Amino acid sequence: MNCKGWNLVVAGFLMSLAAVAAAQGQKARTVDSERIARAAEAEPENWLTYHGSYNAQRHSRLDQINAKNAKQMEEAWQFYLPIPHGFEATPLVVDGVMYFTTGGHTAVYALDAASGKELWHRTFEVAEQVPACCDWVNRGLALGNGNVYFVTLDARLIALNAASGETLWEKTLADWRDGFTATVAPLFVNGKVITGISGGEYGIRGFVDAYEADTGERSWRFWTIPSPGEPGHDTWKGEQPTWMTGGGPTWVTGSYDPELNLLYWTVGNPAPDFNGEVRPGDNLYTDSVVALNPETGELIWHYQWTPHDVWDYDGINEVILADLEVKGRQVKALIHADKNGHFYVLDRSNGTFIQAAPFVRQTWAKRLDPKTGRPEVADVARLTSAMEPLCPGPAGGKEWNHMAFSPQTGLAYIPVIENCATFRMGQAFYRKGLPFWGSVADAAAIGPGESQGAMLALDPVTLKPSWKIDTKWPVMSGVLSTAGNLVFWGEAEGQLHATDAETGKDVWTHKAPMGMHAPPMTYAVDGQQYVAFPVGWGGWLNGFAPGLRHGERGHLLTVWRLPKGGQPSADGQQ
């Protein structure tokens, strides 16, 4: 770059700083754990952490846009993204500034949240050879101590100054040549940045890491596969030291209970996928949720949804923390809709199983033990070359895209996949950095007119559906719930929805140019509520919806609000 070019860059950089300062005005305050813990109640205008709050409910107290006036929403702004990859991030908003990431060469954007005007962006190139099973994606960032924290596909964790975009520090989580990648949005807890890792289809040994937010120094690492001598190691039998390549990735952001001071993180499938012959045993802590001490990484308890998984049921889906009255007793509950097709309620203080029930068609489990929830595997699911379709298939009854829980309606809103598949077991050979799975699974044909998905409102207390909207394709977007008695979500062909949270009646729809995979989120600036939909198809989605066709372009952030000026009345008339 010549000198003049550099001067222009510097000038642009200083202008960006001024713009950020102006956008933040006098309100700019540092984000810390106390602020995040109170954000849902004290400052619903902000979305300070990946799931919106530590309890991961993805429920906002904003109610300016409600079930009566949502039909009047108009688009406030759009922001187009030049990426041919899935757009899976949840944007964060703090004091009028929005931050989000995109996949491909991992990029971070800072925008004025009211206008969509770009303040700065940074792009971090990754090597073309980086192994990623399921597209070059990224799910977002953490805010804390005046910085943003995110991972790159080649498994780096980076801290940038939130105002300027300048790099503060950068750490390598693991070597991508060994099959490690990273796509998760980190979580900021008590001055530490907590992150997971991807690569469960490449024979990694998974972990959850914590780094000091100011320096990037690693505080602790929790290995998801126990080594010899550690509790749980005896769940990895077989001739080879299979635990060293046993998978157990951690690529979905965890939840945190500040009162119990417990961090909850989910762990994905064992490796090799599909072929369990080389790894007899339950294969802890794969397909599980682990509760950790966030200061030390010490394991406090664990619960395994699917012991000895040979169907890629993963168990990686988010866990939501909610206080419920179940069977006449107040429970500090943890709720979870698993890929294996069952909805679970646990006691989050100690990991005790409370109840579970299928929320989609499932044939792999004969029953769950009513006391422990441990599945009794159906004969049809014992893999040989099972040509009979098994439900769910490896797409699961729900993928990673997040459900929401409304404390107002008491309902969980689940993006559902109705999916069955045939599995054929094959050999699995470990080679460093290469795919490590032992089977193929083919999605089974569905009957004419059958739906492949649904938006399902489920009562976690009764485990009964409250309402359900059938969809042509699997619902692959996340869900946002709001105090306006609305749930926001998107379909595979781009229909965006605002649905009455109590009745399941659609009150607003809009057709976006592509399907939606990310979760919508909401925020407010100067008293105006906005709803942001990250639109962009990608990831391993053809495996879920064979026959669904999509263009390569059309990724955008589309942001909606009520018309400015008019004060919407209770019945929605201006």
Contact (Cβ atoms closer than 8 angstroms) between residue 501 and residue 408: yes
Smallest distance, Ca ion to C-beta of residue 162, A: 33
134 vs 548 by CB, closer to Ca ion: 134
Q: Which stretch binds Ca ion (CB under 5 A): 134-142, 312-320, 343-351, 515-523?
A: 312-320
**Distance set, CA 184 to CA 1, 138, 198, 313 (Å):** 34, 6, 8, 19
Which is closer to Ca ion, CB of 342 or CB of 561?
342
Shortest reach from residue 309's CB to Ca ion, in Å: 9
Cβ distance to Ca ion smaller for residue 154 or 312 = 312
61 token code pair: 């107290």
CB of residue 311 vs Ca ion: minimum separation in angstroms? 10
Shortest distance, position 269 Cβ to Ca ion, whole Å: 4
Q: Which lies closer to Ca ion via its Cβ, residue 266 or residue 269?
A: 269
Q: What are the catalytic residues?
A: 312
What is the β-pairing status of strands 495-500 and 106-112?
unpaired
Beta-carbon count within 10 A of 283 CB? 29
Least Cα distance to 439 among 385, 485, 484 occurs for 385
How near is the Cβ of 133 to Ca ion at its closest, in Å?
Answer: 8
C-alpha–C-alpha distance, residues 542 and 51, integer Å: 26
Closest CB to Ca ion among residues 158, 545: 545
Question: Mask of contacts with Ca ion, 229-268, x by CB under 5 A?
Answer: ----------------------------------------
Of the candidates 137, 184, 143, the residue with the CA atom closest to the CA atom of residue 39: 143
Give the DSSP H/E element, type plus range, for residue 23: helix 3-24
Kindly tell me which of 46 and 269 has the beta carbon lying closer to Ca ion. Answer: 269
Rounded distance, CA 91 to CA 47, Å? 8
Choose one: 40-48, 53-61, 307-315, 527-535; the region binding Ca ion (CB under 5 A): 307-315
Among positive and negative, which fits the CA dihedral 49, 51, 56, 62? positive
Token pair recorded at residue 418: 């109705």
| Residue 452: φ, ψ to 5° | -100, 0
Is the CB of residue 392 less than 8 Å from the CB of residue 443? no
Q: Which residue is nearest to Ca ion (CB)?
A: 269
Q: Which is nearer to Ca ion, 407 or 543 (CB)?
A: 543
Q: Which of 43, 312, 418, 491 binds Ca ion (CB under 5 A)?
A: 312
**Cβ 346 to Ca ion, closest distance in Å?**
22
How do strand 59-60 and strand 480-482 relate by DSSP bridges?
A: parallel
Cβ proximity to Ca ion, 174 vs 321, nearer residue: 174
- Number of residues near Ca ion (by CB under 5 A): 3
Nearest CA-CA partner of 534 in 141, 73, 87: 87
Contact region with Ca ion (CB under 5 A), list: 118-126, 269-277, 398-406, 541-549: 269-277
Residue whose pair of structure tokens reads 């929401």 in the numeric block: 404
- Please state, in angstroms and rounded to a whole number, the distance separating the CA atoms of residues 480 and 30: 26
Q: CB–CB of 303/288 below 8 Å? A: yes
CB contact set of 573 (below 8 Å; sequence gap of 6+): none
CA gap 289, 316 in Å, rounded:
8
CB of 314 to Ca ion, least distance (A): 5
CB of 103 to Ca ion, least distance (A): 18
Exposure pattern of 183-202 as b/e (b: 16+ CB <10 Å)?
Answer: bbbbbbbbbbbbbbbbbbbb
Which of residues 33, 90, 101, 269 is near Ca ion by CB under 5 A? 269
Residue 287 makes contact with Ca ion by CB under 5 A: no
Binding interface with Ca ion (CB under 5 A): 269, 312, 314
